[in-house]
Structure 1
Amino acid sequence: MNKAAILVAGGKGTRMGGPVAKQYLPIGGKPVLFRTLEAFNQAYEQIHLILVLPEGDFDFWNELCQDYGFDIPHQLVAGGSSRFQSVKKGLEALPFKEGLVAIHDGVRPFVKASVISESFEVAAERGSAIAVVPLKDSLRKLNDKGGSRYEERQYFRLVQTPQTFQIPKILKAFQVPELPQFTDDATVYEHQGWPVTLISGNLENIKITTPEDMAYAEYLLQRLG
């Protein structure tokens, strides 16, 4: 079965506070995006990789690949004005219309190969596979009057990526106009009336957004070896 992964990295990295976007910063001497691409390549060597970047970053990215000798095959696609639009452009660039596609945040380099492979296996059978992890903290729900109430955390999950789908279904799902409730790809898929299937993610699969995340990423690299 055809397999593809769309890695979305269209952000400007403003929360990192530096001149270089977070996806290009090095952890352990290697840019974040290199590690994310490697994770999918190691899980499935024949997977078709699509990397969605701001079009203005293409030359910089190609220079990075040349400087580091990075040679994992991947297709560059120009991102859109929002994550929804960037994913849609990635989907439109797929070289095949049947099979499975994983959609993943480019700044989540610590996804396990076992999570990637399970996402493809479950999506092949169920239509979708969304990586989630349980909450560790207590949970309270706010109301409009400024109060709050306790919620049982066992009924909630934190959503990660990859989010993997059968290609014909996710292509159809992304034909609708963008809506505010589309916070991830699962909500776009669910908008069609299709249930999403959850799988266990891995806690190390953090989304690198802030300088503190970069420091933790360096720690994770040392711990995971």
Structure 2
Amino acid sequence: MDAVGVVLAAGLGTRVGADGNKAYLPLAGRSMLAWSLDTLTRLPDVARTILVFRRGEFALAHDTVRHELGDRPIEFVEGGETRHGSETNMLRHLADDIDAGTVDVVAIHDAARPLAGPEMFGRAIALARQYGGALPALPTRDLAEMRDDILQPVARRGELVRVQTPQAFRARDLLHAYRCADRDGFEGTDTSSCVERYTDVQVRIFDGRATNLKVTYARDVAVAQHLLNAPGQSPGS
């Protein structure tokens, strides 16, 4: 059985200030999406790599990948109108192989997180194989809320976290969840929310990294550029 790595690049980039899809912004000599694709295609645990591209951008996606990554065996799937829709299209692409048992884990990653290293993908896949699902997260501290125009600390029973990607899941559970969601018209906020709604998988959390930032605003581009150019800091190093 094989793991499949997926890079989602079907969004836009309004907050980052990009004219089009921010996944193609140049970072340290290559487009942002190429960093994660490069990492996935080098992992021995990942047998197949899929790029989910924005509708109408197949030529851009294909030409970018061929120019920057050569003849790497990358599959292309057209995305949907939403993140959930893009994941649904990807799972339909894989459905026959998942049902046949030749794909055991699917790891889904945002193209806007170019600094996730191979160890993060490897950890997510290994934990998903063991427990059913896994994702990296960082603790969130010093939260407060407004009550009658007064700032009050948030009382918490457990630790709140900021979820990152890659998120990895057993393929059959993931496909089942999205088939159920399609039946019910449900759209999750992220992959794990759909899995948790329709399966009994207990998604395991492991330590994320502050450097695994999501490029959302213009200032994030400069930070990511700096980290990718730093010696020993790029994902493949």
Helix, strand or coil at the partner of 1:164: strand
Does the Cα contact within 8 Å between 1:133 and 1:158 map onto a contact in 2? Answer: yes
Displacement of 1:150 after TM fit? 1.3
Unaligned runs of 5+ in 2: none
Work out the percentage of aligned pairs sharing the same amino acid.
28
TM-score normalized with structure 1 length: 0.90
1:120 aligns with one of 103, 121, 125: 125
SS, match of residue 16 in structure 1: coil
Contact 2:4 2:50 in 1 (8 A): yes
Task: Kindly state the Cα deviation for residue 41 of structure 1 after the two structures are TM-superposed.
Answer: 1.9
Residue of structure 2 in register with 1:159 after alignment: 163
Residue 171 and residue 46 in structure 1: after superposition, are their counterparts in 2 closer, same or farther (change >3 A)?
A: closer
Quick one: distance in 2 between partners of 1:92 and 1:76?
13
Moved more, 205-214 or 78-87: 205-214
| 1:184 aligned residue | 190
Aligned to 1:111: 116
- Say whether the 8 Å CA contact 1:36–1:107 is kept in structure 2: no
Task: Provide the aligned C-alpha RMSD in A.
Answer: 2.1
Unmatched 5+ stretches in structure 1:
none
Secondary structure in structure 1 of the residue aligned to 2:19? coil
Partner-residue secondary structure (3-state), 2:216: coil
- CA distance in 2: counterparts of 1:41 and 1:64, whole angstroms: 15
Of 168, 172, 178, 2:172 maps to 168
Instruction: Give 1:120 deviation, angstroms.
Output: 1.0
Q: Name the CA distance, whole Å, in 2 between partners of 1:37 and 1:109.
A: 9
Verify the 8 A CA contact 1:16 1:211 in the aligned structure 2.
yes
Q: TM-score, length-normalised on structure 2?
A: 0.85
Instruction: Give CA-to-partner distance per residue, 1:74-99, whole Å, 9 cap, x none.
Output: 11111111100101111111162030
Residue 93 of structure 1: SS of its match in structure 2?
A: helix
Number of residue-to-residue matches in the alignment: 222
C-alpha contact (below 8 Å) 2:16/2:215 kept by paired residues: no
CA–CA separation in structure 2 for the residues paired with 1:9 and 1:38: 14
Change (3 A) 1:210 1:70: farther
Match of 1:102, SS? Answer: strand
Distance 2:155 2:229 in 1: 35
